[in-house]
Homo-oligomer: A and B are copies of this chain.
């Protein structure tokens, strides 16, 4: 049995009961070492197999191997295992092993809760990482999502290897979105060193954004009140 477990944004409080049950049932916990560290207090009595970034395929192969010996394995993802997480690769590479995906609070909605309520209306998720996706397609999505007045949640917004993608994405957004559109940046959402920045498309400081940040860009109904970002659902025009 393999559980693809989403541990949520990072502290025990934001985990689900189901994720904890999966750990309890598991003989072995497999994961990227940064995420293993986030739950190390919860898996003290378990065998742990961890490795580094970009070793996802290797990690899943190991989990499948262990499961073939009859052991129960949890492969952990931060956030939801099914959102840019490990669930897909496990299902792709497994043969007749039983696989169960355990949802968690995904990074965008955890960040949204910290910022206020930016995701009250139609929204999309775009990852700016071009490791597995062409940059052309990424920017095309940014353009179309902006044209559709979606709230946009940006995953993997900025890293040392790609310092300017976010700036370029914002240039594209500005074709359709006003410069005064609220923007929220949450670094390390729900973790010890959480940082929050509230700004606009025009006033964003790209240097405050790193790989561990989620950036949420509002739609035309988004506003800032008491330092919280709120996207109006439209009740005021209806009721």
Residues of B contacting A150 in the complex (Cβ-Cβ under 8 angstroms): 124, 141, 145
Q: Which of A127-186 contact B (CB under 8 A)?
A: 127, 131-133, 137-138, 140-141, 144-145, 147-150
Q: Which of A44-52, A81-89, A196-204, A205-213 contacts B (4 or more CB under 8 A)?
A: A81-89
Residues of B contacting A120 in the complex (Cβ-Cβ under 8 angstroms): 82-85, 87-88
A38 within 8 A of B: no
Say whether A149 contacts B137, CB under 8 Å. Answer: yes
Q: A80-B105, A82-B112, A147-B144 are in contact. Are A88 and B122 (CB under 8 A)?
A: no
* Bound-state Cα–Cα, A135 to B54, Å: 42
Interchain CB contact (< 8 A) of A13 among B18, B121, B145 = B18
Residues of B contacting A18 in the complex (Cβ-Cβ under 8 angstroms): 13-14
Interchain CB contact (< 8 A) of A103 among B112, B125, B127, B225 = B112
Residues of B contacting A148 in the complex (Cβ-Cβ under 8 angstroms): 140-141, 144-145
Closest partner residue, chain B, to A237 (CB atom): B132
- Taking the closest CB of chain B, its distance from the CB of A137, in whole angstroms, is 7
A71 within 8 A of B: no
A119 within 8 A of B: yes
Per-residue interface assignment for chain A, residues 212 to 235, with 1 indicating a CB less than 8 Å from any chain B CB and 0 otherwise = 000000000000010010111111
* Bound-state Cα–Cα, A16 to B144, Å: 34
Which residues of A are interface residues toward B (Cβ below 8 A)?
4, 6, 8-9, 12-18, 21, 54, 56-57, 80-85, 87-92, 99, 101-106, 109-110, 112-114, 116-127, 131-133, 137-138, 140-141, 144-145, 147-150, 225, 228, 230-239
